[in-house]
Amino acid sequence: MALRNDFLWGGAIAANQVEGAWNIDVKGMSVADVASYKPALDVKDYAGHNTVTTKMIEEAKNDESTEFYPKRRGIDFYHHYKEDIALFAEMGFKALRISIAWTRIFPDGEEEQPNSLGVNFYKNVFEELKKYDIEPIVTLSHYEMPLHLSDKYNGWVDRKLVDLFVKYAEVCFKEFGPYVKYWLTFNEVDSVRRHPFTTAGVVEDKCKGYSFEKAIYQALHHQYVAAAIATKKCHEIIPGSQMGCMLTKLTTYPNTCNPEDVLLALESNLDNHSHADIQVLGEYPPLYKTYLKNKGILIEKEETDDLILKENKADYLALSYYMSRTESADPTKEQAAGNTVMGVKNPYLPSTDWGWQIDPVGLKISLMELYDRYRVPLMIVENGMGAKDELTSDNKVHDSYRIDYLREHIREMQAAVDLGVDLIGYTSWAPIDLISVSTSQMSKRYGYIYVDQDDLGNGSLDRIRKDSFYWYKKVIASNGAELE
Ligand code: BGP
């Protein structure tokens, strides 16, 4: 079985990691603008490094530099978007996943009227994509909410955020509806649990009268409700639109057939799926409800919340997939890193330079699992390999390791489609080098296009085609048939 003829091949980027221009054209500060450079991030301790305090935020606000806050400069897509989109078009992209920076539309999140300069910027980007027939896939919130809403309300803990987000979403639907059919609400909504500040603006030392843990689950609930209301508005405002939800697919294996290992893996997978259950199936799963109850966490809900979730399910399920993880009941087992998660080292899998375990078959397993469970179209909206690239003296990047990674994942993706999985697209992360979410490094490169910039922001910002650029071009032209 071949991939569908209208298969959405392309790439995915996020505003906070590419745009730069953090303080111009009336843009407000976002949570990403205070994310510091962490070159020595210990991949064995992601959790510790995700702690964000009010003091750290205040320090960042008083520091104008972009050197230690690299997401402020990104790769200056704000001024290079025409050049970058032309390169994506040269590769034959059918789709580009981008996100809208909420702070360009509502700088503080609470203004009465949207910022026309921000609206115009995205209209220009969409016009440019249209020129090349590239379908935009747009995420409304990708780790870039207004910092003001974190400061004032402790982010999504406050119900007020639901209304503010819906207002922002409505502006996007009205302004960009003529260009955009495919939407996503929250990037990796499950990540509120792993990095609550980045995803939901929640700061531990601001939790007064409630626990940090309660704050996290409350924030998640508000995001689910906001996503459901946004889905309804999207359908009303843009006929024929498709609203997806997005999950970090963290497929977990048992380390052995010891039932204790199997149970741990099951719990981890159920936990991961619970976020999609709420958004695609429209309700909190029973086991998840009991889990929260046993933890003593009572989520504050409005009377109509359950109905809102039930009536406004996601049209499709988008996922990011980078690695798999393994669980063991034996605490002495060696650990391995992953996408802001840890797990037991899997002896069958190699790892990237950042210690993420490479598992193409895991992608096939993930797609089978998700399609069997949800029966809605799936879209892979992130998959890729962060690596240290070397630019040769004649301006080439021979990134055969990246080609190998992507080839094997695409192969397994096709194998899942052969088995009957309904897959509508694949946008790899990321088609162009950008600033890493977890470490804010530039040197963790994902692109088919090399960007001449180092970790401290030195460089010409020139765009250079890597070997993988030519390879991906052939993959798209052959609709996935030519992978070698
Ligand atoms: C995903 C995020 C992306 C992206 C990617 C790679 O979870 O949605 O924004 O950055 O991870 O992570 P990193 O940048 O830390 O390598």
Buried b (16+ CB within 10 A) or exposed e, 321-354: bbbbbbbbbeeeeebbbbbbbbbbbbeebebbeb
- Given a cut of 60, whether residue 48 has pLDDT beyond it is no
Name the closest-CA residue to atom 10, ligand 1: 437
CA-closest candidate to residue 242, choices 374, 377, 368? 377
Which of the two residues, 231 and 45, has the higher pLDDT score?
231
Residue 441 Cβ contacting ligand 1 at under 6 Å: no
Region 306-317: what's the mean pLDDT?
Answer: 98
Phi then psi dihedrals of residue 265, to 5 deg: -65, -40
pLDDT reported for residue 49:
60
Measured in angstroms, how far is the CA atom of residue 405 from the centroid of ligand 1? 16
DSSP 77: H
Name the closest-CA residue to atom 12, ligand 1: 437
Residues 12-22: tens digit of each pLDDT? 999 999 999 99
Residue 382 Cβ contacting ligand 1 at under 6 Å: yes
Mutation test residue for ligand 1: of 245, 353, 437, the one with most atoms within 8 Å of CB: 437
Measured in angstroms, how far is the CA atom of residue 383 from the centroid of ligand 1? 9
DSSP secondary structure, 339-394, as one string: SS-EEE--TT--B-TT-BBP-HHHHHHHHHHHHHHH-S-EEEEE----B-----TT
Q: Residue 339 — very low, low, confident or very high, per pLDDT cuts 50/70/90?
A: confident
Examine residue 283 and state whether it is found in any structural domain, yes or no: yes
pLDDT reported for residue 338:
85
Residue 261 Cβ contacting ligand 1 at under 6 Å: no
pLDDT reported for residue 270:
97
Examine residue 460 and state whether it is found in any structural domain, yes or no: yes
pLDDT reported for residue 82:
98
Examine residue 409 and state whether it is found in any structural domain, yes or no: yes
- Given a cut of 70, whether residue 238 has pLDDT beyond it is yes
Residues 340-394: tens digit of each pLDDT? 888 999 999 999 988 899 999 999 999 999 999 999 999 999 999 999 999 999 9
- Given a cut of 80, whether residue 334 has pLDDT beyond it is yes
pLDDT reported for residue 1:
65
Region 459-464: what's the mean pLDDT?
Answer: 98
- Given a cut of 70, whether residue 47 has pLDDT beyond it is no
Measured in angstroms, how far is the CA atom of residue 410 from the centroid of ligand 1? 19
Cis peptide before 430 (omega within 30 of 0): yes
Region 90-118: what's the mean pLDDT?
Answer: 98
Name the closest-CA residue to atom 5, ligand 1: 437
Residue 444 Cβ contacting ligand 1 at under 6 Å: yes
Measured in angstroms, how far is the CA atom of residue 37 from the centroid of ligand 1? 14
Residue 139 Cβ contacting ligand 1 at under 6 Å: no
- Given a cut of 90, whether residue 43 has pLDDT beyond it is no
pLDDT reported for residue 250:
96
CA-closest candidate to residue 172, choices 224, 225, 125? 125
Amino acid at 129: L
Amino acid at 431: P
Measured in angstroms, how far is the CA atom of residue 438 from the centroid of ligand 1? 7
Residue 188 Cβ contacting ligand 1 at under 6 Å: yes
Measured in angstroms, how far is the CA atom of residue 80 from the centroid of ligand 1? 21
CA dihedral 62, 66, 71, 73 (to 10 degrees): 130
Residue 187 Cβ contacting ligand 1 at under 6 Å: yes
Measured in angstroms, how far is the CA atom of residue 237 from the centroid of ligand 1? 31
CA atoms within 13 A on the CB side of 83: 14
Amino acid at 110: E
Ligand 1 atom closest to 354 (CA): 16
Ligand 1 atom closest to 191 (CA): 7
Residue 465 to residue 205: CA distance in whole angstroms: 45
- Given a cut of 70, whether residue 395 has pLDDT beyond it is yes
Name the closest-CA residue to atom 2, ligand 1: 437
Strand partners, 356: 337
- Give me the active site residues, please: 188, 382
- Cα 222 to its chain centre, rounded Å, is 18
pLDDT reported for residue 374:
98
CATH code, domain carrying 115: 3.20.20.80
- What is the domain range of residue 401? 8-477
* Tokens at 428, concatenated: 């790899």
CB atoms within 10 A of CB 55: 9
Examine residue 47 and state whether it is found in any structural domain, yes or no: yes
- Given a cut of 60, whether residue 8 has pLDDT beyond it is yes
- Given a cut of 90, whether residue 273 has pLDDT beyond it is yes
Residue 386 Cβ contacting ligand 1 at under 6 Å: yes
Residue 429 Cβ contacting ligand 1 at under 6 Å: yes
Examine residue 242 and state whether it is found in any structural domain, yes or no: yes
pLDDT reported for residue 81:
98
Examine residue 210 and state whether it is found in any structural domain, yes or no: yes
Mutation test residue for ligand 1: of 145, 187, 339, the one with most atoms within 8 Å of CB: 339
Examine residue 382 and state whether it is found in any structural domain, yes or no: yes
Examine residue 403 and state whether it is found in any structural domain, yes or no: yes
Whole-number average pLDDT of the chain: 96
Residue 440 Cβ contacting ligand 1 at under 6 Å: no
- Given a cut of 90, whether residue 39 has pLDDT beyond it is no
**What angle (nearest 5°) sits at the alpha carbon of residue 163, between those of residues 158 and 164?**
85
- Report percent pLDDT > 70 for the chain: 98
Number of domains in the chain: 1
Residue 14 Cβ contacting ligand 1 at under 6 Å: yes
Measured in angstroms, how far is the CA atom of residue 303 from the centroid of ligand 1? 36
Residues 133-154: tens digit of each pLDDT? 999 999 999 999 999 999 999 9
pLDDT reported for residue 41:
63
